[in-house]
Amino acid sequence: MNQNLLSITGVSKNFGDVTALDDVSIEIRENEFFALLGPSGCGKTTLLRVLAGFEDPDTGSVTLGGQNLLSLPPNKRPINLMFQSYALFPHMSVEKNVAYGLQREGLGKDEIRDRVADVLTTVGLTDKASRRPAQLSGGQRQRVALARAIVKRPQLLLLDEPLSALDRKVRAEMQLELKRLQHEVGITFVVVTHDQDEAMSMADRIAVMSEGVVKQVASPVDLYSRPDNLFVADFIGSSNAFRGVASEAGVQVDGLGLLPGTFGASSGEATLIIRPEDMRLVDQDQAVLAGTVVDTQFTGGSSTIALSIAGHSSPVLVSCQGSASVTRGDTVHLAWDPSRAIKLTK
């Protein structure tokens, strides 16, 4: 495992009575593709701005490679921030847009030419070098913005919603592209997004944030299979949640009975989470729950069935391969492998 590059420790930031960051601590490793994920207003941009030096935190420390980062002015930090709305210079060619930052650093002509050529190859825009931004597609403009950020060879590249301006299909392509690029240039990436699919498909690890607080930091697989709390379980993928009292054999829920899980010794209030794909339709004699089909949705390779269960307020979701074999109004029976149940206490 790679070494830690960036250590964020106990960082808080208030704007008047708004707490944008509340005691945030995150370690980011060298060469990692790291995502900050959370709903609008949870503090993602503020955290990037603190890292880039455009905002001073009220408390906390940030080190990069062991050095105190907060004492350095923005232009002395080996960090580049690509803004939420990246602005290319409309009157300059692609090549000049990319070269601009290097010229400002006062590098020699030959070096600038070589580095720009290199980075345009990396992002696949060599043949568009002399075009203006208006003569490019959205995806190509995005690549120019990336090229401009990478060409300065920062140790750390911060990207704020880099793909938000793109339509769905181009966005999916650029997700793969961004990942390939990160791998190729070997720069640590911190990408902000509020799109969980995007974070899950690109990042090595993700910090899930809510209202200025980091709710969990983990790999996509761990966030999904071992959420730490209800916020994460709900935000990442879909989940069926049942609130009750924990015991060794599961969670006892008023009106529904004992919903099985393998939790070892447990007690107290808890929520049992079952992912839709872990729910199975079974014969009545094996049923844990019975419900009535209220809706079925076919989404290509799989279907989602929504059930209403007497005594439970929200619909229970079941996903299955192919098209659903049940229709609205059918009574169905449900069970799950108890080892797939997740118990949450916060």
Angle, to 10 degrees, between the axis of helix 109-122 and the axis of helix 94-104?
A: 130
Find the angle CA(167)-CA(122)-CA(174) to the nearest 5 degrees.
15
From the list Mg ion, ligand ATP, none, partner contacted by residue 15 (C-beta under 5 to 8 A by kind): ligand ATP
Residues 183-212 that bind ligand ATP (CB under 6 A): 194
Tokens of 12: 């808080």
From the list Mg ion, ligand ATP, none, partner contacted by residue 60 (C-beta under 5 to 8 A by kind): none
Residue of this chain nearest to Mg ion (CB atom): 45
From the list ligand ATP, Mg ion, none, partner contacted by residue 43 (C-beta under 5 to 8 A by kind): ligand ATP
* Options 6, 33, 46, 175; binder of ligand ATP; rule CB under 6 A: 46
**Residue 71 buriedness (CB in 10 A; 0-12 / 13-18 / 19+):** exposed
Q: Which stretch binds ligand ATP (CB under 6 A): 37-45, 169-177, 181-189, 266-274?
A: 37-45
Reference 175, options 202, 145, 146; nearest CA is 202
* Options 3, 15, 89, 111; binder of ligand ATP; rule CB under 6 A: 15
Q: Pick between residue 17 and residue 285 the one whose CB is nearest to ligand ATP.
A: 17
> Are 129 and 92 contacting, i.e. CB atoms less than 8 angstroms apart?
no
Q: What is the 3-state secondary structure (H, E, C) of 122-159?
A: HCCCHHHCCCCHHHCCHHHHHHHHHHHHHCCCCCEEEE
Q: Does 45 bind ligand ATP (CB under 6 A)?
A: yes
Q: Which stretch binds ligand ATP (CB under 6 A): 23-31, 33-41, 305-313, 331-339?
A: 33-41
Distance, CA of 228 to CA of 184 (rounded, Å): 33
Q: Pick between residue 45 and residue 97 the one whose CB is nearest to Mg ion.
A: 45
Distance, CA of 141 to CA of 94 (rounded, Å): 9
Q: Does 46 bind Mg ion (CB under 5 A)?
A: no
Which stretches of the chain bind Mg ion, using CB under 5 A?
45
The residue ranges that bind ligand ATP (CB under 6 A) are 15, 18, 20, 38, 40-46, 194
